[in-house]
Amino acid sequence: MDKKYLKRASSGLWMYRRKTPVLLKDKYESNYIQYTLSTHSYHEAILKRNSINADIDMELANTKRGDNSDKAKFYSYYPSWRKERLEREGEVVKDADYHPMEEADLEVIIEKPEDKTNPAVHAAWRAAMSGEIPEQFQPTITEIAEEWTAFAEDKKNAKYVSAMATYVKALIAFLGRDELPSNVSSGQAQLFIDALLAAGKSSNTVTHYKSKLQELWRWALTREKATGENPWLNTKVEASKKKSKPLHYRNFTDSELAKILSSTEYDKLNTPTWAYPYAMHMLPRLLPFLGTRLSELALAKTEQFVEVGGRLFFEVREGKTVNAQRIVPVCPTIQPLVKDAISKAAGSPWLFPEIGNAAIGANEAVNSISSKFGKLTKGFDKVEGYKTGLHSFRGHFATALEQIGCPEEIATKLAGHKQLSLTYNLYSKYKNKDELWQYVEKIHEADCLKVIAVQTGL
């Protein structure tokens, strides 16, 4: 049961009780803001509590901005007057044509002399009596979003809140002005969705836009911060069925590699907010020399690294395709890094325990690493028909083999692209080890890997 800001009196009536925000103490002159909700019903108390919270949050937002506008003045009076109006509903005599508060002398109630003739203050009184806020005092989309952000601070993660701000900014840019929520029609909402799709955003991304904006409107409507309907309820994300030409992964430039290595230094990644610093640090340094897919290495077990004849090999035992099963010689240049990873595993079966034992699941952890890497490379040059990611390092591996003169047949075996023969399966997987080793042992000499070899100190 959600009892935040709720307290039940001995009479059984619910009360609203909230510690007064520091910035509002001068107004409320008490350490707590407290109202009787005049109801025994928990569900009704929840609705009233939410409405009061929304008004107080608006006051707080205006105070934080230092806003001296008419709207700020309106909200400095309206919330408390409206709450008193609702509290005194119980005093209304049956069939009476007036409310007890309507007999009040407004000139006496308004304490500040400068506010006695202020039109915004008088508008606040009329709105408190009727419950209808004039359009000029209704919060705009931006103001609603600011209030929601304050509300969500301890309920949503930072990424979620940041995404909401981004989507609201995009909507306002599309509308051309900071509108009132009630002025956004379902037609405009659909046109915005269509525009996002036309701009090349994926249907998944556009669905995120829709769901968050729909939530913002729901939040505003249920707290009486906006009027009308939720325009996002009936919008459709209708992406074109025309298939675009698939993008291929390109190699990184030397300057991009240097930036990647700098951004993935362990000390920079080892923060309380990132769960996979060591794996994120090691993957860009190992993948270019092993040529494996991200999941093949990220989800590897330490037992997959096997010494044969004094040489270290990585056994890829399963993968994306039937050809993925293979052995990859570990270039002597990166063997110290591999052995360091095995040592740091400290008896765990996983090469990267922080991934293998991740609370969200190993596969989800790999997805998180891939996503974070994508953000690190977001500013890299766009090349038509190509994209970048951790998978790009397979391209570096293939390019490096070509640069050192490795035959294509051997390169495809090392990358796991060629159909394996019966002499190169699990039963005789090391038969061709010498043939493979002679190229991998000097792969670090390839031009496309020199930046990594030098900057990593290999």
Q: If the chain, 458 residues long, is cut into consecutive pieces of 10 residues, what is the mean pLDDT of each piece?
A: 82 87 74 85 83 75 62 77 76 65 75 83 83 78 89 86 90 85 91 88 91 94 84 88 72 93 93 91 94 92 92 80 75 92 93 92 90 90 89 90 84 64 39 70 82 71
pTM across the whole model: 0.49
Q: Which residue from 284, 276, 198, 194 is spatially nearest to 235, judged by alpha carbons?
A: 194
Residue 270 burial (CB count, 10 A)? 12
238-258 per-residue burial string, b: 16 or more CB within 10 A, e: under 16: eeeeeeeeeeebbbbeeebbe
Strand partners, 315: 327
Q: Where in the chain is the domain with CATH 1.10.443.10?
A: 249-455
Residue 385 burial (CB count, 10 A)? 9
**How is domain 141-222 classified at the CATH fold level?**
DNA polymerase; domain 1 (1.10.150)
**How is domain 249-455 classified at the CATH fold level?**
hpI Integrase; Chain A (1.10.443)
Q: Residue 458's pLDDT is what?
A: 55
Q: Residue 180's pLDDT is what?
A: 86
Taking CA atoms, 170 is separated from 84, 193, 210, in Å, by 39, 11, 12
Q: Residue 423's pLDDT is what?
A: 31
Q: Where in the chain is the domain with CATH 1.10.150?
A: 141-222
Q: Which two tokens stand for residue 374?
A: 């994508």
**3-class SS letters over 212-257:** HHHHHHHHHHHCCCCCCCCCCCCCCCCCCCCCCCCCEECCCCHHHH
